[in-house]
Structure 1
Amino acid sequence: MARNILFIMCDQLRWDYLSCTGHPTIRTPNIDALAARGVRFSRAYAQSTICGSSRMSFYTGRYVDSHGAAWNNFPLKVGEMTLGDYLRPLGRQTVLVGKTHMAADTEGMARLGIDPNSLIGTRVAECGFDPYERDDGLHGSGPAGRYDPKPVRYNDYLRDLGYAGDDGWDDWANAGEDEHGNLLSGWLLRNSTRPARVAEEHSETPYMTRRAMEFIEQAGEAPWCLHLSYIKPHWPCIAPAPYHAMYGPADVPPPVRSEAERAQPHPIYQAFLNSRVSRAFSRDEVRDAVIPAYMGLITQIDDQIGVLMRFLESQGRLDDTMIVFTSDHGDYLGDHWMGEKDLFHEPSVRLPLIVVDPSPAADATRGSVCDALVEAIDLVPTFVEACGGTPQPHRLEGRPLQPWLHGQAPASWRRHAISEYDYSATGAAISLGVAPLDARLFMVVDERWKYIHAPGFRPMLFDLAEDPHELHDLGADPAHQAQCERMYLALAQWGLRQSQRTAISDERIAAMRGASVRKGILLGFWDESELPDELLHEKWRGAREALR
């Protein structure tokens, strides 16, 4: 049983941008060391490829279709249980440092009379966490004001250090300057080659690492689950010195793409190809500018994980803490002629996932790679079991990873992984003329095949064995119709699962069977003679005797 849980999440980190997952040039020795101490899951998938909806699945242990927070700023409805609701009864403080991208269901809270300033109200509004420091890292400002108008503690921190102005995130941590001292926005892709104006030790990643260490030190002997949620390497893609110049275009793998992909593309794929960000990342000059900075931000995270591991060791917490390293989704970075993460190719939907279980039961698997199909929703039940609890399958749709961590392959495991994408808020839905309720995509992947169901359009299909880079969409090929039908049937079976009966467990239902008849609800009996002795109330015995 783990005393503590350190749940580290990066934002928009591709699964293959670590040296332990095969990147040819990036340096991530501290993350690699975690993989050497634990299990690296090579086929882990996000439940969605957009920040908010993916994270809500991580925190609830439920599919997007179940929790309903299907895109950024779609509220997580009041009543959805989250990680803290499962772990606090098991004696674990459940604390946040960094990002959740959760939008609170303020209408639901008002309807139920929940005071947002109360302890319960804070937890409902903060995705179940006690926010030691909530910072979604999206503090851009423009002529219409700031994107996130709430006060930012990080801005206060920078101002206290002497950085001028009230908008340090936008003016210092995510901005550069030219040779004449002019301010250059980190949002503009050509500025990615410049160093951020902030000193490295004052940039976001070291700051959040220090805040995490402050919490751990403050917690003392009280067991905890700490979600350290870095905003990087998410855009703006500008890194502080020396990380801005650590890599160059020669360190960037060539893009995975082909002209054939653009010849007769699926209409939804075409709509995303037409987006500004995809058109930008289809240009080599953009990739050569942005990706080295992206890699530098990853190596900065790696260095800070090294700082954090040494701190845990000094506190005596390294050997009793379960450590998870992952990301909420990936980034196309120009692969398949796309930027961002709007579809289901592997660079977007596949996750880096490393789990270090401190228990002796996991000793046999240290440094191993597990190829089982794993989903983001598996982490909550894994944490529950690590803390000595029993996962609740009527609420949690994932499965604990302990069998794989302990070298005991389960008798049965999922044959398919599912991811969902609600594109109703995107320009693609507008250009395709798709109503919000119809703008949904579903991915089903098994050991070999990846199938994308697109209501109103033909499916997409990729053969991952023959076409591992997903360059040939077989969804319109009559020769693969049977394969499409097989995968659609798997999706249909998933859609028929029980997902909304969360207020009562299977065990309670089983205990209810026959309870009403034992309490005098006697349906279908003709007279007292048909009642077995155990159902015959004392007051009716005279009537049965009279029948004899």
Structure 2
Amino acid sequence: MASAQPNIIFIITDQQRYDTINALGFPHMHTPNLDRLAAEGASFDSCFVTGASCVPSRASLFTGYYPHTTGILRNADRWTRTWVEDFAAAGYRCVNIGKMHTWPFDTPAGFHERYNVENKDRYKEGRYYFDEWDRALAARGLTKQQRELYRQRSDYRQRMGAFDWELDEDMQSDMFVGKLAKWWIESYPRDGWQKDYPPAEPLFLQIGFPGPHPPFDPPKRFSDKYLNKDLDIAKVVPSALAEQPEPLKRKRIHDSQHDHDSVVQLIDPTDEQRQLQRAYYLGNVSLIDEQIGEILDALERNGYLENAIVVFTSDHGDCLGDHGLGHKWTMYDQVTRVPMIVWAPGRAISGQRIAGQMQQFDIVPALFEYAGIEVPGTLECRSVGAALAGDTWQGREYVYCEQARDGNFRDNDFMTMVRSEDWKLVHFLGESYGQLFNLKADPEENTDLWNDPGSVEIKRQFLDQLREWRIASQYHTRNWAAQAR
């Protein structure tokens, strides 16, 4: 095992489902660079986010605490502090390129340098915050493709967020972030400016791609790969829609009436419309994959990969019409399960597929350990370092996810998921309804057993587990002040 502090490259996409990487078992995907990371590194088959939307999930990942502990429960909740500060204090050069989604957007959050590129179709919070991408577009005299312009199209509602990027290709948001990261890697001063010298300090580089978050807008050469492929799109089951709790039924209607992030998710789209939407979404993933390849090449040319860890994950997924729903803000696996790939030669066993359940933020203590930094004792995450090394490791018996009223989730104050490998329960605050799925018998989550007389005991067991977890969390973090945000 390498002994010097490794460079850490932490790549995060926005709204990318687990089923979007060829090497993880989805042969319709064209993701050669992510496939390389998975083949040479380790991947977790059951990684679950702690928040079902961007900011709660990211704040949890970058603090090591559940959303109910941080108090960051919805987008635009104030979030300014992260564990990146610990890496900066330990001698790392900490750089963010792309999306982090702190609030305010430009808070330092422990980074020495930030090059912000935020939501592609920013409409409410921070609409007039001009980031690096906005400035670059303006410098070329270009007007960004955005909701106000998409609305002028006669087929706007029918395309459900799928649009061709028609401006300069290198100015598409994810292309721009990738090339900005490559520029930084190539340009940052090194010892004597000699390319064959190692960096003067270890690097913590967070690269945040805005996609495949909608609008789904890759250049046409990326979406064309998928338009005529069998994309294994799940059928919507009418009986499952009838069983959905009221907040999700209302969300389905809301999704169809409001163009959140340029997406009007139709109530009953045709197979052709779903194919179009999925093709553009997956095309955006392939675009990001291409940029990751260029970033890895730049890192290798400049000596950063000689002692490095590369982490790839996403902040949450997207229903994309599955379960009749669009966007995030639900507890279906399409939203809560994300990729987690760790490339770490000399530290992680190559080619591993790790089966046990983990919370996404469980990667954090392992990064502290690799960097030789003391892990704060109050963190709610558990290290997966042993799993990566091929040692004995026990996955989590239960994982959790939380979401407050926000965005298109408008009809309940707080929703919480508790999931084992066999069962999932979703609790809606103050309500007698909920969701209960037998994941072994019903992995597609189409048969809700909440009101099933034969499932009373398992429902009670999971509600009890939810209560015990919240009490234990409150006690464990009693000395950590939420004001530290």
TM-score band by shorter chain is: 0.7 to 0.9
Higher-Rg structure is 1
Per the alignment, residue 205 of structure 1 pairs with 174
What is the Cα deviation at residue 458 of structure 1?
A: 2.4
| Pairing of 1:3-152 with structure 2 (within 5 A) | 3-76=6-79, 81-104=81-104, 125-140=107-122, 148-152=127-131
Change in Cα spacing, 1:403 to 1:253, as seen in structure 2 (3 Å) is same
Which of 197, 213, 216 is matched with 1:234 structurally?
213
Per the alignment, residue 170 of structure 1 pairs with 146
| Pairing of 1:390-409 with structure 2 (within 5 A) | 390-394=374-378, 396-409=379-392
What is the Cα deviation at residue 452 of structure 1?
A: 1.0
Residues 100, 127 of structure 1: 8 Å contact kept: no
Give me the whole-angstrom Cα distance separating, in 1, the residues matched to 2:389 and 2:24: 21
Per the alignment, residue 516 of structure 1 pairs with none
1:275 aligns with 2:254: yes
1:386 aligns with 2:370: yes
Q: Deviations over 1:472-508 (max 9, x none)?
A: 011111110110111112211211122433459xxxx
What is the Cα deviation at residue 424 of structure 1?
A: 5.2
Which of 252, 258, 267 is matched with 2:231 structurally?
252
Q: Give the aligned residue type for 1:339.
A: G
Change in Cα spacing, 1:40 to 1:256, as seen in structure 2 (3 Å) is farther
Query: Greater RCO between the two (CA within 8 Å, min separation 6)?
Result: 2
Identity of aligned residues (%): 26
Per the alignment, residue 532 of structure 1 pairs with none
Change in Cα spacing, 1:95 to 1:42, as seen in structure 2 (3 Å) is same
Change in Cα spacing, 1:86 to 1:36, as seen in structure 2 (3 Å) is same
What is the Cα deviation at residue 103 of structure 1?
A: 1.5
SS in structure 2 of the partner of residue 501 of structure 1: coil
Change in Cα spacing, 1:256 to 1:327, as seen in structure 2 (3 Å) is farther
What is the Cα deviation at residue 127 of structure 1?
A: 3.3
Give me the whole-angstrom Cα distance separating, in 1, the residues matched to 2:422 and 2:78: 35
Change in Cα spacing, 1:282 to 1:14, as seen in structure 2 (3 Å) is farther
Per the alignment, residue 303 of structure 1 pairs with 290
Q: Give the aligned residue type for 1:168.
A: K
Residues 251, 408 of structure 2: 8 Å contact kept: no
Residues 375, 398 of structure 1: 8 Å contact kept: yes
Q: Give the aligned residue type for 2:366.
A: T
Per the alignment, residue 112 of structure 1 pairs with none
Change in Cα spacing, 1:146 to 1:274, as seen in structure 2 (3 Å) is closer
Change in Cα spacing, 1:191 to 1:348, as seen in structure 2 (3 Å) is closer
Per the alignment, residue 373 of structure 1 pairs with 357
Q: Give the aligned residue type for 2:70.
A: H
1:263 aligns with 2:238: no
Change in Cα spacing, 1:503 to 1:23, as seen in structure 2 (3 Å) is closer
Relative to the length of structure 2, the TM-score reads: 0.87
1:476 aligns with 2:458: no
SS in structure 1 of the partner of residue 416 of structure 2: strand
What is the Cα deviation at residue 88 of structure 1?
A: 1.6
Give me the whole-angstrom Cα distance separating, in 2, the residues matched to 1:31 and 1:427: 32
Give me the whole-angstrom Cα distance separating, in 2, the residues matched to 1:236 and 1:246: 18
SS in structure 2 of the partner of residue 383 of structure 1: helix
Residues 94, 204 of structure 2: 8 Å contact kept: yes
Give me the whole-angstrom Cα distance separating, in 1, the residues matched to 2:404 and 2:137: 37
Residues 56, 73 of structure 2: 8 Å contact kept: yes
| Structure with the higher fraction of residues in helix conformation | 1
Q: Give the aligned residue type for 1:216.
A: I
1:440 aligns with 2:421: no
Structure 1 gaps, min length 5: 106-121, 177-181, 505-548
Residues 322, 357 of structure 1: 8 Å contact kept: yes
What is the Cα deviation at residue 371 of structure 1?
A: 0.9
Q: Give the aligned residue type for 2:380.
A: E
Length, aligned pairs only? 457
What is the Cα deviation at residue 133 of structure 1?
A: 0.5
What is the Cα deviation at residue 12 of structure 1?
A: 0.6
1:321 aligns with 2:303: no
Which of 166, 190, 193 is matched with 2:159 structurally?
190
Structure 1 stretch displaced more, 191-200 or 287-296: 191-200
SS in structure 1 of the partner of residue 390 of structure 2: coil
